[in-house]
Structure 1
Amino acid sequence: MSAASPDAAGTRICVVGDDLVAGLGDARGMGWVGRVAARTQSETPLAFFALAVPGETSTSLSGRWETECNRRFGAGENRLVVAPGSADLQHGVSLARSRLNLANVLDDAANRQIPTFVVGPPPRADVSESALGDLSGAFADVCQRRRVTYVETFEPLRTHEQWLSDTSAGDGTHPQQAGYGLLAWLVLHNGWHEWLGLPQE
C-alpha cells in the first residue's frame, strides 16, 4: 500500500462496515482490508481508510458513511467500499429496509460521482444461514440494478472447510488469519483491479 500525504493527488479509498473491516480476530492486525491493500499495486498513491463500527446495521452505516468519509476524502480521486455485515439479522431490520439502506448509500455516492464497490457479509454461526443467504442475495440484487460490483462471500465460504475451521477456532463468529486471507482473495479476484482501473496481478 502506498502512503499518500494529505496533499497528494492520489486515490483515497474509504471502507465502511462492521468489525470485519477492522480485522477483529486477526493476530496480524491486517484483516481483509489490509491484505487487499498490500496486494494492490498502483503507480499513483493509494490511501486506504478502514472505518469500522462493530455490530453495525445497514441503517447505521447509511447514516454515517458520508460524514466519516468526507473527513478522509481529498482533492484527488475518491472511492467507497461498502461492506455491510449481518447485524441487520440480529437487530430485526427487515430485508426491505436492508435493501433500501444499501440502495441509498449507492445512490448518494453515485450522485457525488464516487465509484463504489460492495463486499457482502460472510457466513457466521450466530445467525440463520438461510436468512443470511437471503440478505446477501438482496444486497447483490441492489448492486446489480445499479451496475455496482458485488463480491459474494456467503456462498463461496458457506461450506468452505478452512473458513469453518478458522472461525470455530476463534470466537466462533470472527475469522483469524486464514479466514481473512480467504475474504481478501475473494475481493481481489472478483473485480477489484478492474474497478480501480489497474492490471490484474
Structure 2
Amino acid sequence: MDEGLRVCVIGDELVAGLGDARGLGWVGRVMARTRTEDPVFVAQLAVPRESTTSLAARWETEANRRFGARSDNRLVVGLGSADLDEGLSLARSRLNLANILDGAAAARVSCFVVGPPPRPDVDDVALAQLSAAFADVCQRRHIPYVETHDPLRTHEQWHADVAAGDGAHPGQAGYGLLAWLVLHNGWHAWLGVPSDGA
C-alpha cells in the first residue's frame, strides 16, 4: 500500500519559524499553498544555530524515523548562516552539503534546498559567498536551490521585519517573503503538483 508523500524539512531555527507570531514560518506558509490530492506528512526537524557539520551528522537518522518504506520520501534542506558563526571554511560547508545530498540520492530521496537569507549580524560578502557555494553544490547535482540572500539583501521590508524582532530573525512579513521565493522557484514542479498561482 502506498503511504503517500512524506517531507522532512531539516535546518536551523528558520525552519521552525522562530520569531513568527503566527507560528507558521516559511514552511507552514509554503505548505498552505501546496495543493495535493492526499494529505502530506511534513516533519520540521530544526535545531537552533545549527551548522552544516551538525546537520550532516544527524539528518539521516532523524529523517529515516519519519520516512516510510512505501512512501514518497522527500528532503528539504533549509540552510542558515551558522557556518559563518563557527568559522567553517567554504570547502567544509560545500562538503557537508554534498554529503547530505549524496546520502539522500543513494537512498533515493529527492532533495530541495533553500539557501541562507541575509542576517544583519554577519558579514554580507561572506554570506553571499556561502550561498553561492551552496548553489554550486546543488547545480552540479541538478537539485533545486532557492537563492534567498541576493533577492532579500537590499529588500527594505525584510530588513525592517528583522529589525523589528530580535535583529537576526524575521517575523510574519519576512517569512512570507521566504515562502514566496520558495513557491516561485521550483517548489510545485519538484513535488509534481500543480501551482495554485501563489
1:8 to partner: Cα distance: 6.8
Report the counterpart of residue 58 of structure 2 in structure 1: 64
Q: Which structure would you say has the larger RCO, counting Cα contacts within 8 Å and 6 or more residues apart? A: 2
Specify the SS of the correspondent of 1:13. Answer: strand
The residue type equivalent to 2:20 in the other structure is: D
Q: Give the alignment of 1:47-126 within 5 angstroms.
A: 47-74=41-68, 75-126=70-121
Q: Which stretches of structure 1, 4 residues or more, deviate above 2 A after TM superposition?
A: none
Specify the SS of the correspondent of 1:130. Answer: helix
CA distance in 2, matches of 1:179, 1:18: 16
CA distance in 2, matches of 1:91, 1:18: 14
Specify the SS of the correspondent of 1:9. Answer: coil
- Maintained 8 Å contact 2:10/2:78: yes
- Maintained 8 Å contact 1:32/1:183: yes
- Maintained 8 Å contact 2:34/2:195: no
Q: Deviations over 1:100-126 (max 9, x none)?
A: 000000001001110000000000011
CA distance in 2, matches of 1:121, 1:32: 13
Report the counterpart of residue 6 of structure 2 in structure 1: 12
Q: Is it true that 1:127 corresponds to 2:132 in the alignment? A: no
- Maintained 8 Å contact 1:102/1:142: yes
Aligned length: 195
The TM-score, its normalising length taken from structure 2, stands at 0.97
The residue type equivalent to 1:110 in the other structure is: A
Q: Which runs of 5+ in 1 are unaligned?
A: 1-6
> How many percent of aligned residue pairs carry the same amino acid?
69
1:45 to partner: Cα distance: 2.3
The residue type equivalent to 1:34 in the other structure is: G
2:131 to 121, 131, 136: 136
1:44 to partner: Cα distance: 2.3
1:161 to partner: Cα distance: 0.7
CA distance in 1, matches of 2:186, 2:41: 19
CA distance in 2, matches of 1:145, 1:178: 32
CA distance in 2, matches of 1:45, 1:77: 12
Report the counterpart of residue 189 of structure 1 in structure 2: 184
Q: Deviations over 1:19-45 (max 9, x none)?
A: 000000000001001111111110122
CA distance in 2, matches of 1:89, 1:9: 39
The TM-score, its normalising length taken from structure 1, stands at 0.95
The residue type equivalent to 1:39 in the other structure is: R
- Maintained 8 Å contact 2:53/2:96: yes
Report the counterpart of residue 24 of structure 1 in structure 2: 18
- Maintained 8 Å contact 2:35/2:194: no
- Maintained 8 Å contact 1:8/1:45: no
Specify the SS of the correspondent of 2:170. Answer: coil
